[in-house]
Structure 1
Amino acid sequence: MTMTTNKAPSRLDRFRDSFVWYSFKRDRTAQLCLAVFLCLVVAAFSAPLLAPTDPYDLRQIDIMASELPPFWIDGADEQYSLGTDAQGRDLWSIILYGTRVSLLIGFGAVILQALLGVTFGLMAGYLGGRVDAFLMRLADIQLSFSTLMVAIVVGAVVKATLGGAFYSQYAVLMLVLIIGLAEWPQYARTVRASVLAEKGKEYVDAARVMGLRSKRIMFRHVLPNTLSPIFVISTVQIANAIISEAALSFLGLGMPETHPSLGSLIKAGFDYIQSGSWWITLIPGAVLVVLVLSINLLGDWLRDVMNPRLYKG
């Protein structure tokens, strides 16, 4: 006589049976946006393998080949499929490297935002009282200023205090800090609202009766039940961080031209539009639009899936 045991479903099996996977299979827009986003991410982080030249290596830059048009325009050089910029750098190569920089800043800034916002939101919602009042008034004060204004002021102060050379050398880190510190209230307010709804439930009361510390209850019990809105916010905030980086770079407070991002590429080619070299700005601009649009549409789909009342699949 043999005994049969029911094997517990794996995480992959549970995911395949989930509503998220079911709705994703039915939504062609979400599938297309995810495919586009993954292609851009893979291409960007494979830049050393895919790029014909290294834009950071001055030996590979030919100033005599500057402002060459893309392959579909007369006068193009087959060596440069998307043309060259004003410095003679291969545009395809610097777009790959620039997209990688923009993604690093976007993801890095959102990680910092989430760490600060989730921590402050948990503390404000769970502890309440003066802690809640102080943190929320701090968030209100910061939200009274636009993100771009905060980033411009902080970036200008840092650049003036530490010097332009220091800012250029650590531009990626500085932009992550500036954009991350400017946007944490978005997470804090959302997490606080979720915590206020969760902390009165029975499982939180049971954890208190068992003598668990507040820190353990917040991070081990309450936080996992507030992850859905955090995921939705993160998708939107990644797009916002990439746009903020592009805006700061366009204003001269972002990435330097020697270490390009999508924003600095758009700025570098803006002065050459009227001279006929429109591709230096428009092609990186198109890549930026496609990247941000794919992230935003994924965020819209995820928001609808996480809120069944909004789902129309």
Structure 2
Amino acid sequence: MSSYIETPNQSRLNRIWQSHMAYSFRRNPVAVVSMAVFLFIAVTSFLAPLIAPYNPYDPAQIDIMNSEYPPAWAEGALPEFLLGTDDQGRDLLSTILYGTRLSIIIGLCAVGLQAFLGISIGLLAGYIGGRLDSLLMRLADIQLSFSTLMVAIIFLAVTQALFGSETFNRYAIFFLVAVIGVAEWPQYARTVRATVLAEKKKEYVDSARVLGFGPMRIMVRHILPNSLSPIFVISTVQVANAIISEASLSFLGLGMPPSQPSLGSLISSGFDYIFSGSWWITVIPGIVLVVLVLVINLLGDWMRDVLNPKLYKG
């Protein structure tokens, strides 16, 4: 008789490995490659303080005399700067690692705020209904009539004028998270509301009411878990959209300042030099941004197909 005893953790891991989602993931090479690329970018960026050759936030490690050196494979490069340097003399590889981490953090936090606002409003609108539902959905319609970028530009421009550039630059990350998060909540609200309208008519919700559970517990503990599939799909796409929004705003000078590099501010800082021969300052961060957004969107497409039985074909 075998002495091997399966532990609860091993049993849970086996169930996850043998699940429908894990099986479809293993059979989808695009999803596997996209996940590998995303994990590589995310892990290296979050480990930037440990693996980056230089610290772009430390003035002692920056020499303006080293500015605009090309990547290591180009003529005139310095071997210690693998991807070259930017216009401030910062090592571009280190700056990209720190900037990617900042862009991902802004994207995740903005989506977290979107999800919190949208899910809360969608649950209330769908479950309570009536005039509250009409009011909240009209607010969502009004919000959707304005583009995210337009709302963000107006809000950030006014904020910068009110608080001044110094204060704005100090708290730029919070302003970006707030404006991107608030601008996109209707995506979640409309999806959650539609799910709640379908779920609240089912027998398990009637049983919860008979047992005396309050509306808040029914919404959060019973209806919300059955709405997670579309929420996961929306969140994946919204992370990519939030990263693009941050990059666009930083490129326009309304996002992260040059002293706190993000992918958008890096692309913006090198744009004036692209025609003078220093193309790498803009092109390399631009490639990283495109690849990051692309793999997130590909993972979102895969997740949408897997979580929608009508689309999944095995």
Report the TM-score, using the length of structure 1 for normalisation: 0.96
Which residue does the alignment assign to 1:16? 17
1:162-202 Cα deviation digits (max 9, x unpaired) = 22111100111110001000000000000000111100000
Mapping of residues 239-278 of structure 1, within 5 Å: 239-278=240-279
Counterpart amino acid of 1:160? A
For 2:3, the equivalent position in structure 1 comes to: none
**Residue 104 (structure 1) aligns with:** 105
Higher mean alpha-carbon deviation, 160-169 vs 98-107, is at 160-169
- Residue 77 of structure 2 is aligned to residue 76 of structure 1: yes
Q: Amino acid of the residue matched to residue 154 of structure 1?
A: F
Q: Partners in 2 of 1:43 and 1:304 — Cα distance?
A: 29
Alignment of 1:32-43 (within 5 A): 32-43=33-44
Deviation at 1:310, TM superposition (A): 1.2
Which residues of 2 match residues 50-69 of structure 1 at below 5 A?
50-69=51-70
- For 1:117-153, what per-residue CA distance to the aligned partner results, in whole angstroms no more than 9, with x for missing partners? 0000000000101111111111100000001011111
Match of 2:198 in 1: 197
Give the AA of the match of 2:78: D
Unaligned runs of 5+ in 2: 1-5
* Structure 2 match to 1:162: 163
Separation in 2, partners of 1:13, 1:213: 37
Residue number in structure 2 paired with 1:125 = 126
Count, aligned residues: 308
Q: Deviations over 1:255-295 (max 9, x none)?
A: 00000100000000000011000000000000000000000
* Counterpart residue identity of residue 270, structure 1: F
Give the distance between the partners of 1:306 and 1:241, measured in 2 at CA.
22
- Cα separation, 1, equivalents of 2:164 and 2:109: 23
SS of 1:274's equivalent in the other structure is: helix
* AA matched with 1:222: I
SS of 2:184's equivalent in the other structure is helix
* Residue 140 (structure 2) pairs with residue 143 (structure 1): no
Provide the C-alpha distance between the structure 1 equivalents of 2:287 and 2:48, rounded to a whole number of angstroms.
18
**Alpha-carbon shift at residue 12 of structure 1 (Å):** 2.1
Match of 1:221 in 2: 222
Q: Percent identity?
A: 67
- For residues 79 and 7 of structure 2, what CA distance do their matches in structure 1 show? 59
**Counterpart-to-counterpart distance in 2, 1:194 and 1:225:** 8
Distance 1:292 1:7 in 2: 39
2:30 is matched with 29
Unpaired runs of 5+ in structure 1?
Answer: 1-5
Task: Report deviation, 1:78.
Answer: 0.2
Cα distance in 1 between the residues matched to 2:172 and 2:101 = 14
Return the offset for 1:7: 9.2
Task: Work out whether 1:184 is the aligned partner of 2:185.
Answer: yes
| Whole-angstrom distance in 1 between the partners of 2:94 and 2:107 | 20
> What is the rounded CA distance, in whole Å, between the counterparts of 1:299 and 1:7 in structure 2?
33
- Counterpart Cα distance in 2 of 1:14 and 1:87: 52
Amino acid at match of 1:78: P
What SS class does the counterpart of residue 275 from structure 2 fall into? Answer: coil
Separation in structure 2 between the aligned mates of residue 135 and residue 12 of structure 1, nearest angstrom: 41
Cα separation, partners in 2 of 1:129 and 1:10, compared to 1, 3 Å: farther
- Opposite residue 247 of structure 1, the aligned amino acid is S
TM superposition shift of 1:311: 1.8
3-state SS, counterpart of residue 289 of structure 2: helix
Q: CA offsets, 1:32-59, max 9 Å, x none?
A: 0001001111001100111111101111
Once residues 160 and 192 of structure 2 are traced to their aligned partners in structure 1, the CA distance between those partners, rounded to angstroms, is: 33
Give distance in 2, aligned partners of 1:299 and 1:202: 32
Find the residue that maps to 1:163 and give its secondary structure: helix
1:262-301 paired onto structure 2 within 5 Å: 262-301=263-302
Secondary structure of the residue aligned to 1:76 is coil
Q: Could you list the per-position Cα deviations for residues 75-121 of structure 1 after superposition, in whole angstroms to 9, with x for gaps in the alignment?
A: 01001000000111000000000000000000000000000000000
Tell me the amino acid that sits aligned with residue 43 of structure 1: T
DSSP-derived class of the 1:311 partner: coil
Per the TM alignment, residue 10 of structure 1 is displaced from its structure 2 partner at its CA by 3.6
Show the counterpart of 1:3. none
